[in-house]
Homo-oligomer: A and B are copies of this chain.
């Protein structure tokens, strides 16, 4: 089986690639495990290939038709479409967000349609498709009401993915991800960047700026569970999904104060005191427009699970990423 990951040089793309290579197989549309013979990692910079001969790296602009035609052929049975411009950047540069989050997503679907082989496509959507007046727990039938250009572009791509699926051009699955925390590496332009930074930086001995109030409620998913969910999402029997392809992935609902308390519990007072509170109105406005929790029954019935506590998430992060602490 040939597999494509867009955004293959990104954090989730790289972790997903490592996990797929380690597993060696993916279930096909009939539920039978098939060997992964080729794993294409497409990104705007060259992805690490993990020294594995099954990996092929492709460098290019995903909004360029030729690049997608190189990356997708009739044997590409599974596509993880992770490439995106993050929320803060899509708000700052409207045209760039539209080009990558909307045009490139549509072009990817259109390339699949032209190939005519109906691949399974997993698309990562976001809490940012919700906003405005919401019930305390967002339901499966709560209207999408994005309050950012990023959320708008993700919501549009969701609609396209559903229609391309309904028409039989692809077999699509939309996974709405909670905010991923704890991400390793550096802060990025996502409005949610702090949700990793306030754990990661203090653990690395660095001061972190928290731009939102401690009572702000966030809906989080660990990288480990995110990768598990991406693979499970691809493998779910299409018949169980029916025509509604969007799934709200289980997360944990915590306030920022509770996140800090968990950090204190795991790493002690000295670490937890490395957070500086500097409210930023622009970030607060975007983050507080996202739901703090949603109903996860449907995803759970389909076998997708989230984390149990944020302290556990922090411990997993330390295990996975903090070599110097071990």
Contact A146 B132 (CB under 8 A): no
A144 within 8 A of partner (CB): yes
Closest to A150 in B: B163
Contact B144 A163 (CB under 8 A): no
If A141-B142, A143-B144, A244-B132 touch, whether A160 touches B167 (CB-CB below 8 Å) is: no
Contact A147 B243 (CB under 8 A): yes
Give the CA-CA distance A52 to B265 in the complex, in Å. Answer: 77
A192 within 8 A of partner (CB): no
If A94-B167, A132-B243, A167-B94 touch, whether A155 touches B147 (CB-CB below 8 Å) is: no
Contact B160 A152 (CB under 8 A): yes
Give the CA-CA distance A39 to B166 in the complex, in Å. Answer: 40
Residues in B neighbouring A152, C-beta threshold 8 A: 159-160, 162-163
Contact B141 A167 (CB under 8 A): no
Residues in B neighbouring A167, C-beta threshold 8 A: 94, 149
If A156-B156, A243-B132 touch, whether A163 touches B143 (CB-CB below 8 Å) is: no
Give the CA-CA distance A146 to B140 in the complex, in Å. Answer: 15
List the number of copies, as a whole number: 2
Give the CA-CA distance A145 to B243 in the complex, in Å. Answer: 10
Among B140, B141, B149, B160, which residue has its beta carbon within 8 angstroms of that of A163? B149
A242 to chain B, nearest CB (A): 9
Residues in B neighbouring A136, C-beta threshold 8 A: none
Main secondary structure of the interface of A (DSSP, over half): loop
For A, the interface residue count at a CB cutoff of 8 angstroms equals 24
Closest to A113 in B: B94
A320 to chain B, nearest CB (A): 36
Residues in B neighbouring A140, C-beta threshold 8 A: 143
A155 to chain B, nearest CB (A): 5
A:171-214 near B, CB below 8 Å:
none
Residues in B neighbouring A134, C-beta threshold 8 A: 141
Closest to A155 in B: B159
Give the CA-CA distance A149 to B109 in the complex, in Å. Answer: 14
Residue among A133, A142, A156, A244 with the most chain B CB within 10 A? A156
Give the CA-CA distance A303 to B145 in the complex, in Å. Answer: 24
Residue among A132, A142, A143 with the most chain B CB within 10 A? A143
Contact B147 A166 (CB under 8 A): yes
Residues in B neighbouring A243, C-beta threshold 8 A: 132, 147
Give the CA-CA distance A184 to B174 in the complex, in Å. Answer: 42
Give the CA-CA distance A306 to B152 in the complex, in Å. Answer: 31
Residues in B neighbouring A166, C-beta threshold 8 A: 147
Closest to A131 in B: B243
Q: Give 25 CB contacts A-B under 8 Å.
A: A94-B167, A132-B243, A133-B141, A134-B141, A140-B143, A141-B143, A141-B145, A142-B143, A143-B143, A143-B144, A144-B159, A145-B244, A146-B159, A146-B162, A146-B163, A147-B166, A147-B243, A149-B163, A152-B159, A152-B160, A152-B163, A155-B159, A156-B156, A156-B159, A156-B160
For the complex of A and B, the 3 pairs showing the least CB-CB separation, nearest first, are A152-B163, A141-B143, A143-B143
